Amino acid sequence: MDTIAAMKSLFTDTAMECSKLITQRYSTSFSLGIKTLDSSLHMPIYAIYGFVRYADEIVDTFHDHDKKMLLDRFKKDTYQAIEEKISLNPVLHSFQDVVNEYKIEKELIEAFLYSMEMDLHPVDYTEENYKRYIYGSAEVVGLMCLRVFCAGDETQYQQLKDPACALGSAFQKVNFLRDIKSDYEDRGRVYFPGVDYNQFDTQAKIAIEADIQNDFDHALEGIKQLPANAKSGVYLAYVYYLNLFKKIKNSPAELIQRERVRIPDARKLLLLAGTLFRRQLKAI
């Protein structure tokens, strides 16, 4: 490798390490899941997470700044990075590298950024824009990861698209239930259509949970068909969220309104160990 190529490779490797650090700082559960993927998949998935994490931070955290301006700039810089195949922003540089290598469609990126824009202002969620938000904020992220997992196998990608969307949908809806208190009190949001936070009750909770269970059931069929190098990591994420979901299901509606349900770190490690053991037995 000549000197210029080596320096460019070092630049990209360093950018990827930045996305890895972001993932580790923001999500212990996601980081654990990535560790059970084949090592060849680690950096591409870190790059995707770093991108979506920073976009989400703009709309959820930077309240003392012009969030619309920041998101517009982030969006413009994203497309420029993808087109030019370089960015001095390490998060965008690592993301564009993955987008270009794995041929991630612009439509997926556009849908994601549109959902982020929806969070800039209050939305009265109907069934239609609820589904659109979930597609853009969660399902397309799963599809981006699926592009990496399938590594150019278009037939496999098309076969697994629907289960991948179901998994992303399940994860996001569990997040909505877990965070219903903070979303309402801190951000003025209730994502579930027709749900009044102040009158959130057992009946509403049960209906939401039945919908989530359908997503989990559909997603598991797709996980079983994933390439071997991705299956364990995705299955761990599935098991983690399923355990969180079960804990929420076993909690009364008034508790969900009062506090955030969590999975302790010790439990996360047990889930990781169980997933690795199942992989050794080839039971996944």
Residues found in the chain:
284
Instruction: Provide the pLDDT for residue 39.
Output: 93
Residues in contact with 44: Cβ distance below 8 Å, sequence separation at least 6, in sequence order: 98, 101, 102, 148
Phi, psi values for residue 204, rounded to 5° = -65, -40
Instruction: Provide the pLDDT for residue 6.
Output: 79
Instruction: Provide the pLDDT for residue 277.
Output: 47
Q: Is 246 exposed, middle or buried (0-12, 13-18, 19+ CB in 10 A)?
A: exposed
Q: Is 215 exposed, middle or buried (0-12, 13-18, 19+ CB in 10 A)?
A: buried
The angle formed by the CA atoms of residues 10, 83 and 57, to the nearest 5 degrees, is 75
Instruction: Provide the pLDDT for residue 128.
Output: 95
Q: Does domain 3-281 have CATH number 3.40.1160.10?
A: no
Q: Is 243 exposed, middle or buried (0-12, 13-18, 19+ CB in 10 A)?
A: middle
Nearest C-alpha neighbor of 34 from the set 48, 15, 53: 48
Domain ranges of the chain: 3-281
From first to last of its 284 residues, the chain has per-residue pLDDT tens of 578 777 789 999 999 999 999 999 998 777 877 888 899 999 999 999 999 999 999 999 999 999 999 999 999 999 999 999 999 999 999 999 999 999 999 999 999 999 999 999 888 899 999 999 999 999 999 999 999 999 999 999 999 999 999 999 999 999 999 999 998 988 888 999 999 999 899 999 999 999 999 999 999 999 999 999 999 889 888 988 999 999 999 999 998 888 888 766 656 555 555 555 455 445 56
Separation of alpha carbons 85 and 77, rounded Å:
11
Residues in contact with 260: Cβ distance below 8 Å, sequence separation at least 6, in sequence order: 178, 179, 181, 182
The secondary structure of residue 198, as a DSSP letter, is G
